[in-house]
């Protein structure tokens, strides 16, 4: 894999203090990419990620912002540009869940999930896109979910947000295709993260029976793909939805 084109780049990974976002940030750092670690409230975890990256000689810094707040996003991007330089790679990973049956779902439950998962992707992408276009280079990776493809009971808000991210990415990929900017979606399945740790034994059994490989994935599975999508080898891949789910989407 040709990594020489990314070693001088700067990436922003949102929601990178834990889980998939953390794994992606560490993977990009392995490729010599300096990484801005966005977090909303997990400051100590975000600083630990930065410390781990910097121990390998790669520059990293943590930036607090709620991606559902456009003003906070704009302020964060300016801060990153001042401290690390222009953002060449954006990974929109930050997301929340607030599961309820639709008949019991409040306006807040709906809007909070949409605002973080979808609007946050919009705000961050818009904030970095102009300079990507000017530099004629950019990689945008949006983290959706298997439920964005299949739906899931009690997750109409989450499913709607993640399905919309897929449509957003496909349209964006067409807009910037001639600017040497790619935009792709990764749809993870179920992983050994905090999200699955709260599942009951019955729910874990339910999902494991439906995953052809019969196991939950490791976050590194997603991180490896994200790293590849930033590379020179992936320049002709754009507008794609790639599932990393042990076959669950089949």
Number of domains in the chain: 1
Write the pLDDT tens digit of every residue in 136-170: 999 999 999 999 999 999 999 999 999 999 999 99
Q: What Rg, from alpha-carbon coordinates, does the chain have?
A: 17
Q: Would residue 249 count as lying in a domain?
A: no
Angle at 33 between CA 71 and CA 229, to 5 degrees: 85
- Give the distance between the most distant pair of CA atoms in the chain: 52
Q: Would residue 120 count as lying in a domain?
A: yes
Within 10 Å of residue 136's Cβ, how many Cβ atoms?
Answer: 10
Q: Which two tokens stand for residue 238?
A: 């754009």
Are 13 and 76 contacting, i.e. CB atoms less than 8 angstroms apart?
A: no
Q: Would residue 1 count as lying in a domain?
A: no
Q: Which of 39, 158, 190, 191 is catalytic?
A: 158
Among 36, 38, 17, CA closest to 28: 36
Q: Would residue 221 count as lying in a domain?
A: yes
Among 226, 212, 216, CA closest to 182: 226
Question: Could you give the 3-state DSSP secondary structure of residue 140?
Answer: strand
Where the chain has pLDDT below 70, the residues are 1-5, 195-196
Q: Would residue 223 count as lying in a domain?
A: yes
Q: Would residue 129 count as lying in a domain?
A: yes
pTM metric for this prediction: 0.94
Question: Could you give the 3-state DSSP secondary structure of residue 232?
Answer: helix
Residue-number span of the structural domain to which 101 is assigned? 10-244
Q: What is the pLDDT of residue 195?
A: 65
Q: Is 236 one of the catalytic residues? A: no
The domain that holds 110 is classified in CATH as 3.40.50.720
Q: Would residue 2 count as lying in a domain?
A: no
Q: What is the pLDDT of residue 8?
A: 87
Q: Would residue 92 count as lying in a domain?
A: yes
């Amino acid at each position: 894999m040709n990594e020489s084109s990314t070693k001088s780049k700067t990436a922003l990974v949102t929601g990178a203090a834990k889980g998939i976002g953390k794994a992606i940030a560490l993977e990009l750092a392995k490729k010599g990419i300096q990484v801005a670690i966005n977090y909303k409230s997990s400051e100590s975890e975000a600083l630990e990620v930065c410390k781990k990256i910097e121990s390998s000689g790669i520059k990293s810094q943590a930036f607090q912002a709620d991606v559902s707040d456009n003003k906070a996003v704009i302020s964060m991007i300016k801060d990153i540009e001042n401290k690390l330089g222009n953002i060449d790679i954006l990974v929109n990973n930050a997301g929340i869940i607030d599961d309820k049956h639709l008949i019991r779902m409040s306006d807040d439950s709906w809007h909070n999930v949409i605002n973080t998962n979808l609007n946050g992707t919009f705000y961050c992408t818009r904030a970095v896109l102009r300079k990507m276009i000017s530099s004629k280079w950019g990689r945008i990776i949006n983290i959706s979910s298997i439920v964005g493809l299949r739906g899931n009971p009690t997750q109409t808000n989450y499913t709607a947000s993640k399905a919309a991210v897929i449509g957003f990415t496909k349209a964006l990929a067409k807009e910037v295709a001639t600017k040497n900017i790619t935009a792709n979606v990764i749809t993870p399945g179920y992983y050994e993260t905090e999200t699955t740790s709260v599942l009951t034994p019955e729910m874990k059994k339910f999902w494991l029976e439906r995953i052809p490989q019969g196991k939950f994935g490791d976050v590194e599975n997603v991180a490896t793909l994200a790293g590849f999508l930033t590379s020179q080898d992936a320049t002709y891949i754009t507008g794609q939805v790639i599932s990393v789910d042990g076959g669950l989407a089949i």
